[in-house]
Amino acid sequence: MSNHANSIFPFFSWRLNAFLRCLTGVYLLSSHSATAGEYIFNASELEGDPRLYQDVDLSLFSNTKAQLPGTYQTITIMNKQRLGIGNIAFTNAADGSLQPQLTPRMLRKWGVRVDAFPELVASPPDTPLAKPLGDYIPAATTEFDFNKLTLNISMPQIAVFQANQGGVDPALWDDGVPVLFSDYAFAASQSEGSDNTTSTNQYLNLRSGLNVGGWRLRNYSTWNKDEDQQSWEALQTYLQHDVQTLKSQFTAGESNTRGDVFDSLQYRGVNLASDEEMLPFNQRGFAPVIRGIANSNAEVSVRQNGYLIYRANVAPGAFALTDINSTSNSGDLDITIKEADGTEHRFTQPYASVPLMQRPGQTKYELTAGTYRAQGDENNTNEPGFVQGSAVYGLNNNFTVYGGLVGSPDYGSVVSGLGMAMGYFGSLSADVTWADAQLDSGEKSQGQSWRMMYSKSIETTDTNFSVASYRYSTSGFYSFADANQKDEGKEDDWSFNYNKRSRIQININQNILNSSLYINGYQQDYWGTNNKERSISAGLSSVISGISWHLNYSYSKLNDNQDDRMLAFGFSVPLSRWLSNSWATYNISNSRNGNTSQTLGLSGTMLDDQRLNYSLQQSQTNHDGTDNSSVYATYRSQYANLNAGYYYATDNSSQLNYGISGAWVAHPAGITLSQPLGDEFAIIDANGASGVRFENQRGVQTDGFGNAIIPSLSAYQENRIGVDTTTLPDDVETGETAITLVPTRNAAVIAHIDARKGYRTLITLTRENAKLVPFGAMASIQNPAQSGIVDENGVVYLSGITDNTDITAKWGEQPAQQCHATLMLPQSPSQTENPAGLLELRATCNKEQPDVTHHH
């Protein structure tokens, strides 16, 4: 709520309400009849003693419709649907009621089809509309409920987007501001063995970028130093831009393909690929079209796994719902049609999907042309030019078709597949790839590879079961990456001598008796050898009376290496009764060679926003009888994330490790240090106010220049950044509690917060004749612009007060009904604060702008 509202309620409303209640009682007890209409009372009665009467104009408060204009934190509801809460400015209409200052940008944000109304399109996007909303959109109305601080908007259905619920109008997508940045992660370790040998290692991961307009230039590089050897590698450099009309991304340079139909490949060239995140949430992935018949103006509700995921009103007749937003990749849809008379019809539509399913009529595609880039050591891999294209198209509720091709001088392949929704039995996709390759040895090889993917959720047992992939390849089949392996002439060259035969991958998630069970595993075998690659991991975990426990098993065997296995059990007990946000932990593990290790530890978080994590552990191993101790901590600061740890064993071996990760960002407002950025991020400009923190952002706060970086936003969607008003510094005030941003892919968007440097104050205003400034007078300052109402003790609440702030008080239009003062802060403001943290000041208010005497 604005400062206007803040000033009314603590110092005015309760007194005026008490007076009005008393007045109402007198009126009801009176035997005189009164004509209906506006009740006019003598404002001097509020002064009590007639000798203290001052000519104050309180006509605003004699109007039952009138309220003070200003900015209020308002709940916005359109067509009975809550849109959110935020600050909206209001002015007085002719009758004194509050009218919202709406802008075309606000209407776009709320899903109004602004482009359908020429006069709205012609209006500046951020300038309040000069006329009532109904003058721009016929039949549109607004009504503000001041008591509930709720703005109710009635909007004709034709003026509101229907198909894009859950999305954001592309007109609101923000390409951000020009920035130059570097996102880094550095790690180092120093080890000393029991024989006094030492070793050091350092590693730097660097992701740098430049944004100009909608163009994004990115470079991904690494540096590694191990003893006397060091290496620097530039892994990727590319230029990227949105293609909004195609809902796609254009990329040029060194990057990698998406891997939807073919396996992901690294390339140096150009790429155009669909970007599903440009679609609204309810248009992503796969969901069937729901069809039915309504006998009246009906309400259609869709539930999945017990959750309401969709609701819409439909007209009488046949309907088809195409914008269902599913909550998981499987689970039957329960549909309820509620007619206008209250009768209901229900039916179930079986539903399940796998990654290669698309909504009916939707297409997902990718096109790439360039040079193949080796994965790892380019000395062992050929790097030919190639082209690749793939597409996935949803035919209807039950079938999706997909296919693609790869072409290269010595390699060609074609894939064709079909996805099927099988109702109760889940979803299945199957495809076959034909490949013709000439290997590095000169041998020509042809073959096929069949792949199946299956997914099913069993609701009765709460099981999510998916065979992520089963693939079988003939002996002559080579993938594009495998076909480009160089022939080194070595008998033990695994990657060249043995091509893949079959692979099975399985994932199961199951809830059992309030416990969570998972199993993940795969097996890969090859032509020409009996050796197999295998990996499996399984775990069971639960929480009982606040105590969490876990049981895990892992096994892996790669190529012809020795297998590795581990069985571990552990639990964690909260210690909040004795030490807040802390846990005692115990773990025991057994490895393949029979080593058993036991660890007892203490871990937790500290500081006001839990930005410090720590862990203390003591371990013992039965194999060599050594004990070891370790300590580890991570700290999230506004400038970077820091971590450090130390390990020491009874055989005199030790290790020190440390690291830092963060970023620097050069932007229009300066240079700001921050935590790691992520892909999209926000630059906060708080008008120079330092120490402003944000909700759900550990360690993030504005620096000495009033800037901060909020990392890891979501592209093309609304990102709400909340200001933590409970931790504002004493000399900072803001009426802005949240900002919503919609960045495009890899954008750096700027957010302005109307923070005011200055104190929150209670000011007692005394006139030259020692009389108090009268009750009801309006006191205002210019920077920041705000005002408040003076109470019967001459006290007004104002925020953002700094040294030499000028204040004007008015209780009428005559010169004798206004005065001016200049506020001076004491040497130690904290000494004049009351228990509520408000600074109490006194000032003499003079008729002319004078040199004023001040009292603290």
pLDDT tens digit sequence for 814-846: 888 889 998 888 877 765 667 666 888 889 898
SS3 of 46-81: the string is HHCCHHHCCCCCCHHHHCCCCCCCEEEEEEEEECCE
Question: Is the pLDDT assigned to residue 731 strictly greater than 80?
Answer: no
Question: Is the pLDDT assigned to residue 43 strictly greater than 60?
Answer: no
Task: Using DSSP bridges, classify how beta strands 463-473 and 81-92 pair: parallel, antiparallel or unpaired.
Answer: unpaired
CA 437, CA 478: separation in Å to the nearest integer? 7
Omega of the bond prior to 784 within 30 degrees of 0, cis? yes
Q: 97 - beta bridge partners?
A: none
Mean pLDDT score of the chain, rounded to an integer?
79
Q: What is the largest CA-CA distance in the chain?
A: 116
pLDDT digits (tens, 9 = 90+) for 389-413: 999 998 988 899 999 999 999 999 9
pLDDT digits (tens, 9 = 90+) for 764-810: 999 888 889 988 888 988 776 778 889 988 999 887 788 888 899 98
Q: What is the pLDDT of residue 24?
A: 38
SS3 of 282-336: the string is HHCCCCCCEEEEECCCEEEEEEECCEEEEEEEECCEEEEECCCCCCCCECCEEEE
Question: Is the pLDDT assigned to residue 64 strictly greater than 60?
Answer: no
pTM of the complete model: 0.71
pLDDT digits (tens, 9 = 90+) for 620-671: 877 666 788 888 888 999 999 998 888 888 888 888 888 899 999 999 989 9
Q: Is 853 exposed, middle or buried (0-12, 13-18, 19+ CB in 10 A)?
A: exposed
Q: What is the pLDDT of residue 449?
A: 93
Question: Is the pLDDT assigned to residue 168 strictly greater than 80?
Answer: no
Question: Is the pLDDT assigned to residue 676 strictly greater than 60?
Answer: yes
| Percent helix, strand and coil across the chain, each to the nearest 5 | 10, 50, 35
Backbone angles phi, psi at 630, to 5 degrees: -150, 150
Task: Using DSSP bridges, classify how beta strands 680-685 and 748-752 pair: parallel, antiparallel or unpaired.
Answer: parallel
Q: What is the pLDDT of residue 771?
A: 87
Cβ neighbours of residue 430 closer than 8 Å, sequence gap 6 or more: 417, 418, 420, 450, 451, 452, 453
Please state, in angstroms and as integers, the Cα–Cα distance from residue 459 to each residue in 217, 219, 270, following that order.
46, 46, 44
Distance of CA 633 to the CA centre of its chain: 26
Please state, in angstroms and as integers, the Cα–Cα distance from residue 615 to each residue in 185, 521, 579, 634, following that order.
21, 31, 14, 9
Residues 12-30: what's their mean pLDDT?
39
pLDDT digits (tens, 9 = 90+) for 753-765: 877 777 888 999 9
Specify which of 163-167, 211-215, 739-743 reaches the highest per-range mean pLDDT.
Answer: 211-215
**Dihedral (CA of 8, 10, 12, 13) sign:** positive
Binned at pLDDT 50, 70 and 90, residue 856 comes out as very low
Residues 712-727: what's their mean pLDDT?
85
